[in-house]
Amino acid sequence: MAETTILSIVDVTKRFGGLFAVNDLSLDIHEGEAVGLMGPNGAGKTTLISVISGQYKPEIGAVIFQGHDISGLPPHRICRLGIARTYQIPHPFINLTTRQNIAVAAMYGKGIGKTAAAAEADKILDIVELTDKKDVRAKDLEALTLKRLELARALATDPKLLLIDEVAAGLTEVEIPNFLNILKRIRSMNITYIMIEHVLKVMLEAVDRVTVIDYGIKIAEGTPQEVMEDEKVIKAYLG
Amino acid sequence: MKVNPHRFKEFIVIAVVVAVLAVLPVLGLPRTWLLYIFLFFIYLALANMWNLLSGYCGLISLCQPAFIGLGGYTLVIFTWNGLPLYMGILGGAIVAAIFTMLISSAVFRLRGIYFAIGTLVVPEALRVVFFIWRPVGEQIHGKGAGYMIKGLNDVSMTHIYWLAIFIGIVSIVIMRLTLSSKMGMGLAAIRDNDSAASSSGINIFKLKLFAFVISAFITAIAGSIFYMFQGYIAPESGFSMKWTMTMILATVIGGISTEEGPIIGTVIIVFLHFLLARYAGISLIIQGILLIIIMLLAPQGIMGFARKTKIYQSLLRLTAGDSI
């Protein structure tokens, strides 16, 4: 396969005080790929996502998106360039309805007007199967619905690269196939994604390749099956 | 754009009310009555602009008197230099808007209650500046740096009264336009969750600054009109905390984060001023107690309370408009 690189993380370091959250990490993501990010708690996965999406600025290294150095750009600029993220703990606009939540992301992320954004929101509601909740205010939604709303809001900004931070956590056995379906739909929209996930079943089915990090350092890389059998990975998880 | 029949009815009602109020001075209504109507529209503009920042952007601004004072003093500087009054009013609004841009990069670093405290010192600092600095006219000894506003001889009280009605209505229209626009949605998103807003492509700084500038611009105009009526401005009154108190009271009593709230709240505040006019000494204490009672009993104000009642909700359903 002749693959174009959509995102290059080049020797990125991000510290909090003396603690290395991400330590000299490099990673290439190809267009159309689905990449999993694994690692024990505190390994630096969410920090890496925050560095890519602009919440944090890398101290050393660069993040290259479609050939442009985006490190240090503010989050809204990075979003408009085509990188969207979800938050592990849902960050809804609580006083807005589900549909308004999605519409406002479409307005600013895609730079479109109110009417076009409303139509776009209806499309996204369909994709994430939230149409029946469209007029409910976000503060009245239950936790699992909020996770889908996270995905919806990110999708509304029309991303080329989607960063998914543990959306499946807390799903029951029955809900997982449903969630995998949504991910399939996202892939069919030509969206590349990086996904942090602890639910193995989701990881095994929804990504092509897994990168495992621990203490901010990449310790393994490969297909989900390969990685699960890697000794360093087993050691990192089980100690 | 389609004309919403409900909106049209609303427009007619407002137009009739405004027309009636506007002809009152010609009909020879007592001066004190006109004074209270005048104050209503000035306070309404101030409360609306405070509600825009606090209720819709989460910016608890305590520096609104800075814009009032800057508006008043710019008017003084313009009229003392022989420039027309209207140019002075507009000049004051522009000065306030530019001043907002200058302080924004500092105060926007602060959030929530820290923003409130950061903005609190701004009018205080300006009060001291205008106490010492006499921008026009001769240096005077002794205390005070008050000014008469010149060029008021050709302007009748009726004229100033109309200006107040005008700015009050403009502030309502601006609220309506802003909140129903794309910008209003963006501001709601920032208020609810700023990190999600910024990762959804919203330029938080730019949007907040825009709201802040609008607020400063209109507040300065309302201030200038008030001082045209007063004829005299001094640093202690122009940059006074009392202004902040009035707009907070009106907005909170009526219902913060609601469009109707400041209108209802301002009616109550002006009525209170009328009742308490003879007891100036304890007026602020009574207003403060009222504020505490309202916050304990109905933290969302009168409108917030009304919205919970069944009658209001069924009314709302009948008139539901073109919301997203």
Assess A134–B contact: CB distance below 8 Å, yes or no.
no
Assess A93–B contact: CB distance below 8 Å, yes or no.
yes
Residue pair B178/A93 in contact (Cβ under 8 Å)? The answer is: no
Handedness of CA B131, B137, B139, B143 (dihedral sign): negative
Residues in chain B: 324
Q: Which residues of A touch B186 (CB under 8 A)?
A: 104, 107-108
Longest dimension (CA), chain A: 54
* Distances, alpha carbon B234 to alpha carbons A52, B135, B149, in Å: 53, 13, 11
Assess A161–B contact: CB distance below 8 Å, yes or no.
no
User: At residue B2, does pLDDT exceed 60?
Assistant: no
Residue pair B323/B7 in contact (Cβ under 8 Å)? The answer is: no
Q: In chain B, pLDDT over 90 holds for what percent of residues?
A: 59
Residue range A208-227: mean pLDDT, rounded: 92
* Distances, alpha carbon B278 to alpha carbons A86, B273, B274, B283, in Å: 59, 9, 8, 9
Q: Which residues of A touch B192 (CB under 8 A)?
A: 92-96, 138
Residue A41: pLDDT band by 50, 70, 90 thresholds? confident
Q: Which residues of B touch A55 (CB under 8 A)?
A: 195, 199
Strand partners, A20: A15
Q: Which domains does chain B have, with CATH numbers?
A: 5-318 (1.10.3470)
Query: Which SS3 state, helix, strand or coil, does residue A40 take?
Result: coil
ipTM exceeds 0.95: no
Q: Which residue has the higher pLDDT, B153 or B47?
A: B47
Residue pair B47/B262 in contact (Cβ under 8 Å)? The answer is: yes
Residue range A164-189: mean pLDDT, rounded: 90
Residue range A184-197: mean pLDDT, rounded: 95
> Is there a contact between B192 and A121 if contact means CB atoms under 8 Å apart?
no
> Is there a contact between A92 and B193 if contact means CB atoms under 8 Å apart?
yes
User: At residue B1, does pLDDT exceed 50?
Assistant: no
Strand partners, A164: A195
Best interface-test mutation with B: which of A104, A120, A122, A164 has the largest number of B CBs within 10 A?
A104
pLDDT value of position B28: 81
What token pair was written down for B251? Answer: 């907005």
Query: Which SS3 state, helix, strand or coil, does residue A210 take?
Result: strand
> Is there a contact between A85 and B199 if contact means CB atoms under 8 Å apart?
yes
What token pair was written down for A201? Answer: 């079943």
Assess A75–B contact: CB distance below 8 Å, yes or no.
yes
User: At residue B4, does pLDDT exceed 70?
Assistant: no
Place of tokens 């073109």: B322
Residue B62: pLDDT band by 50, 70, 90 thresholds? very high
Q: In chain A, pLDDT over 90 holds for what percent of residues?
A: 78
| pLDDT tens digits for range A65-111 | 999 999 999 999 999 999 999 999 999 999 999 999 999 999 999 99
pLDDT value of position B153: 84
Place of tokens 């000299």: A24
Residues 6+ apart with CB under 8 A from A228: A200
User: At residue B161, does pLDDT exceed 50?
Assistant: yes
User: At residue B138, does pLDDT exceed 90?
Assistant: no
Across the A:B interface, residue pairs with CB atoms under 8 Å apart total 91
Helices (H), B64-201: 64-80, 85-107, 112-132, 157-180, 182-192, 194-199
| pLDDT tens digits for range B180-232 | 999 999 999 999 999 999 999 999 999 999 999 999 999 999 999 999 999 99
Query: Which SS3 state, helix, strand or coil, does residue A147 take?
Result: helix
Residue B143: pLDDT band by 50, 70, 90 thresholds? low
